[in-house]
Amino acid sequence: KAGVTQTPRYLIKTRGQQVTLSCSPISGHRSVSWYQQTPGQGLQFLFEYFSETQRNKGNFPGRFSGRQFSNSRSEMNVSTLELGDSALYLCASSTSGTVTQYFGPGTRLLVL
């Protein structure tokens, strides 16, 4: 089975722009979670989608949003980018009813 894929892998944006990141889960996985990793804060939970519904959300401003499509692929969007949004964004997928998560390689975002 193919693993979790994320696109793009690297991205450079400027302050004020918006960005969309994509995550394709392992086939058959219906849950997709998104995480932000920074040197200062470490790994932090952004949100989780299950069957196209946001099931849980972390403590991030409304500039961070996401969605999930019927094929379980997920996107996250960050509007009005700030310098502090520079981070590695990871998504992870899991099957319904389990908590073992399989992580993608991440998208490294640099905001200038």
Partner 1 sequence: KNEVEQSPQNLTAQEGEFITINCSYSVGISALHWLQQHPGGGIVSLFMLSSGKKKHGRLIATINIQEKHSSLHITASHPRDSAVYICAVSENYGGSQGNLIFGKGTKLSVKP
Q: Is 65 in the site for partner 1 (CB under 8 A)?
A: no
Reading the block at residue 95, the tokens are 């099957």
Pairing of strands 107-111, 10-13: parallel
Q: Which stretch binds partner 1 (CB under 8 A): 15-23, 51-59, 61-69, 71-79?
A: 51-59
Contacts of 40 (CB under 8 A, 6+ apart): none
Maximal CA-CA distance, the chain = 40
Q: Is 103 in the site for partner 1 (CB under 8 A)?
A: yes
Q: Is 64 in the site for partner 1 (CB under 8 A)?
A: no
- Which of 19, 90 has the CB closer to partner 1? 90
Cis geometry, peptide bond prior to residue 61 (ω within 30 degrees of 0): no
Residues that bind partner 1 (CB under 8 A): 31, 33, 35, 37, 42-45, 47-48, 50, 55-56, 58, 88, 90, 92, 94, 99-103, 105-106, 108
